[in-house]
Structure 1
């Protein structure tokens, strides 16, 4: 029987990931089987979770997934001793209009699974007000249970005592207080994302976080606060059709934003996945029947991609007879050109007419619901696909036929329709699930 907890906070950037990784590694070092999940559409944290626990982590999302899908995904924790679900943004932050069964808020997952919440609170610039904020979060949605808090970036013992006393007066357990300790902060990039595989010292970083948190947090008290939970075996509840039987998947530092549950679902349905590296000038496997280019950071490697003639010619040859699909960064590489942040224009593969630029950054962020106007690998015309978009590129040209009618989470139609030409298709959103 597993015990479940949700790690959340009042806002982003407070230390949820660091605490999740530290707890996971500390309990793993004690011999416990730890299973992590990520609430919301995050491409990066599951890989850090896997590095900390030695077990694959996947996303669970109340806007894009139904309850059956989430139940299926969390059933992998049947043999775990402790389950940690890391939240995104603030505890109750989501979109205004519900999706499949919720707004995408971490609180939806906590309520559905009955797991209490450990709040990470950064009381910088305040003292007793931190207790008022924690009490407000505790009382905002009665079905979401608060286990207690961990204070992060506490300035001094005096500061800690003031905050602790106020929290105790409010009847809120304090599991520990972390003084400022920059050495365990995870690095950021222009998207706020750095991948686990890019961190040569990731194991040491997580070990240091576990040691540091173990010195300042009562790990036994946190463990006791978890709710016992008996995940039930679930039939395959993932409504995901593989794009083909043999899938050539671009996979390297420029193409790595793939939701783990998608790859698992493809394999579970019998698909075979062969990876290739465009940055190493590799072409897709000629024996594959579909090629998939995920998102990532092509803008950081645009010069190399443009210079890799074997990759570009091999992809073009593949697309003459078989489907090729790109998501976000992969979509940009299927286009005609990409202008980087320095204003340098790089020729891409030209399978689509899309031209994008990072010279003038503009953030595109949010859930997407697309109704396909034409088929794309694995999905028929008329299919309703749920996904998430996050990038800073601007469309310079988008001359091809639209792939879909795309709405944001409010129902508003957006301009990023995706594209189709010949056997090539692409979208700016990353696919999470298809509506049943």
Structure 2
């Protein structure tokens, strides 16, 4: 809420402001774009090589006066990795030379907050913490006690947000309801901005910003285009495709054409490859199962050209998709797996994937980095794997996804190639 409120406040004040997001969250960037009217990029220190991270950091601020980068979890939270490649917000701030605004949940504490802030300021010498915003403040007295303990360290407290259940956005099982589906989003964003202006010194926060250093990075591409002309499914059921990948494909000269399975549109026949991104097909499984023109067009396309599905797209390529109520719906039948939401289990975390065979994404053995985030389970899958994956904690290598003929799919969301 603080990130969106600041973005909207500065935009409404006439500043050209852009957003970015630490880590792999593919929902938040769409809210940033709604708040700022500019594209927002993910910045991920675990999945992205340094050159790509630096290039995207610079691109985030193209032709704008201010970048606001939303963190993830706690400032230093990440996974095991080499220095600077743990996936933490601290890694991104350090790599790009951006100062940190620390947002501290002070519920259930007072002066101890000062000790926590002191620890944050000294934990990582790469970082410059510019100030603190207090969250979940219970009363003016509570605010005074906490603020005094922090300001004694020489750090300014730049805002104090009281508990307010009215400042929220609707959620579902994978996080926030998507920006494009949130009713009255512009009005909500203006309400959030008003709340932030009331409780935060937006002028002082703006004064904490400093010019990004000029980073000497070679041109980097997150993911080479898998074809020259790419048909991409895009609607409420297929929305999880990273903006930096689309931008990179366009920059490399690929032609992107979008179509809507929910509108019963088939992939355009003049394209060279079809890409089905992740999303929420489980929420639209009935309409998708009834979209015969889309399904027949997809089968016809796959007879002669490559088709790849990520997560939700993979499920639509399968034999069937069973909803939470236990009703099975026939899908495209292009891979052998069937999927179900009857017994939901969360699968979450970073993954590195080695391609099991030559593929439009690269030669056999090509290393991709990305993540997995879904609740669906596989009921049956006898296909050869799309890739072999490991998690970020040294877990055993496992076969992932499937392939049949020109068709591949998996639950793995690619963020970048390791060679980028």
| In the alignment, structure 1 residue 148 sits paired with structure 2 residue 131 | yes
Root-mean-square deviation over aligned CA pairs: 1.6
Tell me the equivalent position of 2:255.
Answer: 272
Q: Say if 1:135 and 1:172, in contact at 8 Å, map to a contact too.
A: no
Q: Is contact 2:402–2:408 with CA below 8 Å preserved after alignment?
A: yes
Q: Which residue of 2 aligns with 1:93?
A: 77
- Tell me the secondary structure at the aligned position of residue 275 of structure 1: strand
- Tell me the distance in 2 between the aligned counterparts of 1:317 and 1:151: 56
Are 1:404 and 2:387 matched, yes or no? yes
| Correspondent of 1:44 among 27, 43, 57 | 27
TM-score scaled by length of structure 1: 0.92
Please, which runs of 5 or more residues in structure 1 have no aligned partner?
1-17
CA distance in 1, matches of 2:266, 2:108: 53
- Partner secondary structure for residue 228 of structure 1: coil
CA distance in 1, matches of 2:403, 2:303: 14
Moved more, 348-357 or 149-158: 149-158
Q: Which residue of 1 aligns with 2:370?
A: 387
223-232 or 28-37, larger mean C-alpha shift: 223-232
Output the TM-score relative to the length of structure 2.
0.96
Q: How far, CA to CA, are the matches of 2:399 and 2:29 in structure 1?
A: 27
Deviation for aligned residue 1:233: 8.3
Residue pair 1:325, 1:376 contacting (<8 A) in 2 also: no
CA distance in 2, matches of 1:316, 1:147: 55
Structure-2 residue corresponding to 1:352: 335
> Does the CA-based 8 Å contact 1:184-1:209 persist in structure 2?
yes
Preserved CA contact (<8 Å) 2:96 2:213 = no
Matched with 1:10 is none
- SS of the residue 1:238 aligns to: coil
Q: Distance in 1 between matches of 2:359 and 2:42?
A: 23
Take 2:97 and 2:214, find their aligned partners in 1: how far apart are those partners?
11
Is contact 2:169-2:176 (8 Å) kept? Answer: no
Q: Residue in 2 aligned with 1:258? A: 241
CA displacement 1:218-252 (0-9 Å, x = unmatched) = 11111111222244686531242112111111111
3-state SS of 2:172 partner: coil
Aligned with residue 307 of structure 2, among 324, 332, 335: 324
195-204 or 372-381, which moves further after superposition?
372-381
Matched residue, 1:206: 189
Question: Distance in 1 between the 2:396 and 2:306 partners?
Answer: 27
Give the Cα–Cα distance (whole angstroms) in 1 for the partners of residues 32 and 181 of structure 2.
14
Shift of 1:382: 1.7
Match of 1:308 among 280, 285, 291: 291
In 2, Cα distance between the equivalents of 1:185 and 1:171? 32
Match of residue 376, structure 1, among 359, 368, 375: 359
Note if contact 1:416-1:428 (Cα within 8 Å) is conserved in structure 2: no
Equivalent position to 1:342, from 300, 321, 325: 325
CA distance in 1: counterparts of 2:281 and 2:214, whole angstroms: 39
* CA shift for structure 1 position 364: 0.7
Out of 60, 65, 82, the position equivalent to 2:66 is 82
Tell me the SS of whatever aligns to 1:321.
coil
Alignment of 1:32-71 (within 5 A): 32-71=15-54
Contact 1:75 / 1:234 at 8 angstroms: preserved in 2?
A: no
* Matched-pair contact (CA < 8 Å) for 2:46–2:81: no
Partner residue, 1:5: none
Distance 1:224 1:384 in 2: 42
* 1:39–1:61 contact (8 Å) kept in structure 2: yes
